[in-house]
Structure 1
């Protein structure tokens, strides 16, 4: 920008100089008139000096920039030369390494040829040895014996080498084979690290039974993890009786090691080396099956619990009533704390109410019969209460199970529609719900039917006792009555009070 400004001022200088010359040649007469022009000329000369100064500064700046550029160019040329030197050295090193590689290849071929010549027929033997070593290494890693002897497979690492096995390596193969066969038939007690179900690792005593089982001091069955070379507690344990048996077996083995007497010699053994025990963890428990039933399953179980509590409550009540009735049969006077006593009291109270009224014997008998029927009807609801609800639950539970079956199958078919039939696990949820809810419905309905039948039979038996004893009481009263000949309807003069009809 300063350069452009200087260039503009330089272009104006000739014009300004010509103006100054023309002004100087004028006459003195007009000198006084030209004083403002002379002053302008002085200002223009000062401007010219300023422009010349600006041009000098710009030139010095351009010279400095040129020097920096030349220095940078020299540095870049030096770097380029150094890079070419390194490239030449790398190319020479590449040629040398290539030649060395070719020489190594030739020597390797010669050595392999020499090896084949020297080994002769033993080459096949060495191949079989390496093959067996590789197989044994895998077996040792997967064997339960490795929990006690860690790192055995590392001694067979020569199976992957190209070199001829040495005598020591051959002896190692023989030793590991013999070691595995020997310890696969022994029961051993040792300490090792065990991972529990929460992932915590803790050193604890362990008993190993051959290559089949490993148990802890608590009777927990352990699983061998070859990839981690570590024992872990099985997520799904056998029944508590088997765990108790395992704990006693552990104590017995510990006692044998200390010179004591063994208390148990029996143990649940998994001949599949833990595979069958591992499947126990995948078997759904009771809570898992309940969760598989879904909301319908929860409803069925809730109804079953309600029906069961009702049946137990009514069964206890009926037994108490039976006990009170039995006690009433042995008593001389009726009591209000039992149905039989209340029925008898109702008959006696009715007899007392009409004792002094003039009625006929037929009217008295009808009145007592009506009072007896009324008292029995009052006791019947208390004896038969709850049976209708049990009957309803017994009928509704299978229907709810069928509802769960239908909804489960709908979910199964939706999974088939979305994902096809390639993965059975996607359909397992719907099928489980369909089957579990059906089972829940039947499990609830069958006890409800038996409970309803039991309560119904007991209530009928108690009702028969009430009818029998109350009728016996009524017959006893009828026997005490003095029956008169046939009389006219009620309110005739010959009608007598009840007190005169009953003797004693």
Structure 2
């Protein structure tokens, strides 16, 4: 009995482990047996169904494998056919390329020449101010310069016509509307007159063509008046020849010309020292002019005095004649003393202010040297603060140094000439007094000898 119970417990445990669904615990062994049999039947059906599905899938997988193998074989055959076709086409392409090379002959060289010149002319035409007249030619030149095929006859003719067109417009003057950019950044459409490849003018002023923007820009500063005076007449002319200054370098010389500083700008670069030098130069020139006119007036009076014995007031020679005529004694030394006294009294008056001209001529270079030293000091201070990386920081001091030196020489050289001129004139007048004085003394001495004899 004990062994039967153990067997029953074992069966129940196995039923609980194997049965997927257990509705309730069996009440008796007979119910347990029924349940076990029922579950066994269900499991048998499920197993048969699974087996049937596996067999069906196995047959289907075999069919798919067979189909894939057939497709692989077909594709392999197709790949072999394509490889054979590729080899045949490759050989045919080699043959055709060689045939093309033989038949083209020198066309290949011509193609290279056309590409080269098309690229060069594209750059030249893009930089030309006449590009605003013919914007469509850039498309043709770009195609010819970048194409990998032989150009057609029509393209070669168009290229030839484009070159001839550029040659023609380079020697013509034309007026067309174009965009002009002014210094403050404003833009306006104006009638621009193109003078060949050289220059362009608009509203009575010179303008330059900017390749990057395809527009014209007004020069920041126009040339001098003697160059600009012909521009209005040239713009207003219709079919007639009018004079005009042109720049054969396509605006390079003109841009350099307008960038060069004016005289006033040069003077401003000299700073305070430069203005002091110019002030001294002006003062020295006025003194030289005053001395020259004064000596000229004195000289004219003295020359008139040499033609008459009547004393003309206001000239040193008249004083000498007056001293000679007023001498009544027989003492020659007294007459000489009177003559010397007149000469010594009038010589400083004749040479008055002449030394000031020499002083200004001597001081001007020294002031220029002072400005040079000040400018170099400023330059070295800029180098100390900012280094030598930017030359513009040093340009101001160097410019001031050079300009003041230049101004000092500009003032000193003319003043030296003025001083030499005025000094020579004053010396001639003093020499004339001495000669006349010696003549009167000799005449008086002759009278004394005649009286003694």
Q: Give yes or no for the alignment of 1:438 onto 2:423.
A: no
Residue number among 457, 464, 471 corresponding to 2:431 in the alignment = 464
* Corresponding residue number in structure 2 for 1:473: 440
Partner of 1:223: 208
1:203 aligns to what?
Answer: 190
**Residue 328 of structure 1 is aligned with which of 305, 310, 335?**
305
Corresponding residue for residue 212 of structure 1: 198
Give 1:291 deviation, angstroms. 0.9
SS for the counterpart of 2:389 is coil
Q: Quickly say closer, same or farther: Cα 1:466–1:129, change in 2 above 3 A.
A: closer
Is the CA contact 1:236–1:280 (under 8 Å) kept in the aligned structure 2? no
Deviations 1:214-234 (A, max 9, x none): 24585x433113455433443
Map 1:105-116; keep pairs closer than 5 Å: none
Say yes or no: does 1:340 pair with 2:317.
yes
Q: Does the alignment pair 1:319 with 2:288? A: no
**Corresponding residue for 1:282?**
259
Write out per-residue CA displacement over residues 39-62 of structure 1, whole angstroms, 9 at most, x where no aligned residue: xxxxxxxxxxxxxxxxxxxxxxxx
> Separation in 1 of the partners of 2:183 and 2:310?
70
CA distance in 1, matches of 2:401, 2:421: 31
8 Å contact from structure 1 (residues 207, 216) kept in 2:
no
| DSSP-derived class of the 2:259 partner | coil
Instruction: Report deviation, 1:471.
Output: 2.6
The C-alpha deviation readout for 1:448-477, integer Å capped at 9, x for no partner, is 222222211111111111111133223333
1:59-458 to 2 correspondences below 5 Å: 142-148=127-133, 174=159, 177-178=162-163, 181-192=166-177, 194=180, 201=188, 203-204=190-191, 206-209=193-196, 211-215=197-201, 218=204, 220-243=205-228, 250=234, 254=237, 257=239, 260=240, 262=241, 264=243, 267-271=245-249, 273-348=250-325, 350-351=326-327, 355=328, 361-362=330-331, 365-458=332-425
Q: What is the CA-CA distance between 1:157 and the residue it aligns to?
A: 9.9
Pick closer, same or farther for the CA change 1:205–1:184 going to 2, 3 Å. closer
In the aligned structure 2, how far is the partner of 1:429 from the partner of 1:180? 48
Report if the CA contact (8 A) 2:247-2:253 is conserved. no
1:287: how far off?
1.1
Q: Which residue of 1 aligns with 2:84?
A: none
SS at match of 1:223: strand
Distance 1:312 1:192, change over 3 A: farther
Distance in 1, matches of 2:422 and 2:315, equals 18
When residues 373 and 150 of structure 1 are mapped into structure 2, their CA distance, relative to the original with a 3 A threshold, is: farther
Structure 2 length normalisation: TM-score? 0.62
1:348-398 Cα shifts (integer Å, max 9, x gaps): 3x42xxx4xxxx733xx2322222122112211221111211121122111
Distance in 2, matches of 1:458 and 1:142, equals: 64
Is the 1:318–1:459 contact (alpha carbons within 8 Å) kept by the matching residues of 2? yes
- Secondary structure at 2:208 match in 1: strand
Residues 198/400 of structure 1: CA separation in 2 closer, same or farther (3 Å cut): same
Q: How many residue pairs are counted as aligned between the two chains?
A: 345
Give the superposition deviation at 1:145: 0.7
C-alpha distance in 2 between matches for 1:340 and 1:216: 69
Give the Cα separation in 1 of the matches to 2:135 and 2:263: 39
Q: Give SS of 2:295's match.
A: helix
Mapped to 2, the partners of 1:464 and 1:326 lie a distance apart of 13
Whether the aligned pair in 2 keeps the contact of 1:145 and 1:180 (CA below 8 Å) is no
The separation in 2 between residues aligned to 1:375 and 1:482, in whole angstroms, is: 25
Alpha carbons of 1:150 and 1:286: their partners in 2 closer, same or farther (altered >3 Å)? Answer: farther
Contact preservation (8 Å) 2:312, 2:318: yes
How far the C-alpha of 1:333 sits from its partner, in A, is: 0.6
- The answer to whether the Cα contact below 8 Å between 1:321 and 1:338 also exists between their aligned partners in 2 is yes
CA distance in 1, matches of 2:175, 2:442: 88
Summarize the Cα distance change of 1:183–1:421 in structure 2 as closer, same or farther, 3 Å threshold: farther
Q: What's the CA shift string for 1:186-216, capped at 9, x where partnerless?
A: 312314355666777573462422x222245
RMSD: 4.4
Partner of 1:63: none
Q: Return 5+ residue gaps in structure 2 as ranges.
A: 1-96, 101-110
Deviations 1:68-111, CA, capped at 9 Å, x for gaps: xxxxxxxxxxxxxxxxxxxxxxxxxxxxxxxxxxxxxxxxxxxx
Contact residue 368 and residue 404 of structure 2 kept, 8 A: yes
For the structure 1 residues 346 and 149, does the alpha-carbon distance in structure 2 shift closer, same or farther, using more than 3 Å as the test?
farther
Q: CA deviation at 1:155?
A: 9.2
| Residue ranges of structure 1 left out of the alignment (5+ in a row) | 1-119, 486-504
Q: How far, CA to CA, are the matches of 1:152 and 1:393 in structure 2? A: 67
Distance 2:237 2:448 in 1: 90
Secondary structure of residue in 2 paired with 1:361: coil
Query: What is the CA distance between 1:172 and its match in structure 2?
Result: 12
Per-residue displacement from partner, 1:423-471 (whole Å, max 9, x unpaired)? Answer: 1111111111111111111121122222222211111111111111133
Distance 1:137 1:482 in 2: 106
Return the alpha-carbon distance in structure 2 between the equivalents of residues 476 and 202 of structure 1.
Answer: 91
